[in-house]
Structure 1
Amino acid sequence: MQRYARKIFVASGLRTPFGRGGGALADHDAISLSVPLARAMADIARPDLFVWGTVIPSLGWSNIGREVWLDAGLDPTVPAFSAVLACSTSMVAAFAAAGMLGGSADLALVGGAEVMSNPPIGLKLDVSKRITKLFRTDPPAAIAALQALTADDLTLPVKGWANRITGRTMGDHMEETAQAWGITREAQDEWALKSHQRAVAGWERGFFDDLVIPLPELARDANPRADTSAEKLAALPPAFDKSGKGSLTAGNSSPITDGAAALWVATEAGLSRLPAGTPFAELVDQEIAAVDHHVDGLLMAPSFAIPRLLARHGLRYEDVALWEIHEAFAAQLLANVAALEKPGWTKDRAGVDFDFGPFPWDRVNPNGGSVAIGHPFAATGARDLSQAVKELSALPSGSWAIVSVCADGGHGTVALLRAP
């Protein structure tokens, strides 16, 4: 099955180094962090379309795509718009661009940025209405009301970007899911250690050198830890559930991170405009799943999307040479794969009656994932796709890859790639 009327490709782009929350990149906002990246990408090729996103909202802009493009001083005749779907933001930006290519557009530049160090502080609705009305009728009283504000009047990011409907963080939700699926603390720490070791090894052998542009403040990812160990990870206290049953820690969860990432989406004509040797892969198909998070868990939608996508193409798990799976938490990756492996799950819950066979654990995230590299919400999809495309380029022609991202709200987005 071919999703698109013509062949669509994704080509590796660039990203900034990913910085620790409160660290080297904390003086930026999402626009200023995106500008040097947009310029670096535009130096490679002029796109016909620019699609960008950020997840943490700001009253300072409404269309970050256009703001970034113009602040970068780039060609104002290039259309630019924004996309957002929580942690899947820059992946759905790629899907949106893919559906728009053809005709006058053959090359799209897509991505996203997040500065999690600087979440905005807003006014609660009733307070905002009161002060806005005062500014219309009695400006001095409005100023006095602003000066008299207390913490009770503000919308503060004290709950770590909690889900608005439940009022609970992704970590709170994932603790429940980990317990429901029997994902142990030991298994989470073991996966986290692998993620760090693989990311550090990737940097040491130069894998990331042509994927990351150095910034004045930071030259390489700040989160991967060469000095971590099973003992250090085991010593960390639970970060969310502190009742004695909690297993998610700062060490086996993705850290607060600042960063931006980009990639190319192109037709065959668009690919010809990129430098020779740019890694690329065919975007064969995509799947976006949504689940009732009260039933299945907030971050479990990939376990629905993946089997539906593979079954359309008659692919078993072992047919996929590369699995690039976003690690919001080690427990999240482990739980989603546990669902894929559970007898009857794909048929009874995902509605797919197909024998997928055993899961190839040795093919997952060969250069580390979000637990080690970091997770700036809107940048993760582009980072995952670019990284997967480069990894896939080293495999034989025709090799398959799955790139999967879970997202707040019970969403999961998955791309099926094929090496040229």
Structure 2
Amino acid sequence: MKRLRLLWIPIVLLVVVFAVHWSRTHRQLATAAEDPVIASMLKDPAVIAKGRYLTVAGDCMSCHTAQGGELYAGGRMLPTPFGNIPAPNITPDAETGLGNWTFNDFWHALHNGIGRNGEPLYPAFSYTSFTKVTRDDAIAMFAYLRSLPVVRRTNKPLELRFPYNKRSALTAWRVMYFKMGEYRPDTSRSASWNRGAYLVQGLVHCNECHAVRDAWGGQDAKVTLLGGRIPEQDWYAPDLSAQAHGGLQGWSRQDIVDVLKTGQASKGAAVGPMADVVAGSTQYLHDDDLQAMADYLLSLPARAAPVPVPASFDSQALVDRGSAVYAERCANCHGKDGAGVSGVYPPLDDNATVVEPTGINAVRVVLLGGFPPVTAGNPRPYSMPPYAQQLSDADVAAVVTYIRQAWSNHASAVQERDVATHRHTPID
């Protein structure tokens, strides 16, 4: 075992040397002056309008706007397993925002993940996806951000633990997890499919939530949209395949469009972080872009059948107790058969939120309530009240286990200790 451990030493040294070399060769310093052609484009009202649409599609406001703060002025702390990272001011303020940036500076941040002074950026800024954004779209986005009202707001300091607060450590991370490059259309696919792939993979950055991350916060670039737990938010972003064994198995093209447009579809409703995405971003996308995203998601492959995991305990007692709780608290809205009421109360039978692998989402909805987003297509959505004060951990575990195993659902049981953990997780 000692010899095996020693074998890692040259491997680690090799990675570090390569990372240092990569950092030096990819270092990008601030550009002194704007290119005259781009400078003209940045003032074009049509380019600015396009940039506004793209910036909304990228949901930039959700990170770069503090609660109750000025739009895009930063100030929000983004939680990660390694500490908190402040989202910066991206208004055109010269001292605290993008006022002194050129497009070249912006492009290297968005495309390369390199800051204006050559520093590697933390991947809480989703450049691992934004690298696929085309240069023309990036120009439009920069034009829009430069058109915003100037807000002076000093950026907060990092709140990362050592050694994660040392940016030099990011060079090795980038070697392992970051593949730079614009989206290249697949000529064997339709224009709609390619547009959807560009949005899902790049600008809308779906994989940043809907993927498993390892202990270092990295993702397997070869496996995308398989679903995963969202770090520090205690929600699970489901697998997005609509094929066999996928998280959206059985969803139609219209279902996908509906949930992105209105927050509600015949198969379920957007809750938790996804409700925020719909409210602030996808509801504003053009219908053809939503159709394109649906085309791409419908093309995701079938998933491997889950391997049965032997139950660690007999859940029948939980199911029996949960059945009684469901009859008392839930059946009036969601129906005895779990079918819900179309357009009003989402179904619980064959619902991706209910049967996702961990049970986190159903527990959180029971505890905190279910609040679909307010959208133009669904301006007064019906919400589910929170039951954190009415139900014990045992009752929540029971009713969630029941709905995860009732009707056509065959998901694993949830235990009381799991509910206790999720009950005390911060909402944001």
Question: Shorter chain as normaliser: what TM range?
Answer: under 0.3
Higher RCO (Cα < 8 Å, 6 or more apart): 1
Q: Pick the structure with greater CA Rg.
A: 2
What TM-score does the superposition give when structure 2 sets the normalisation length? 0.27
Which structure: greater helix fraction?
2
What TM-score does the superposition give when structure 1 sets the normalisation length? 0.28
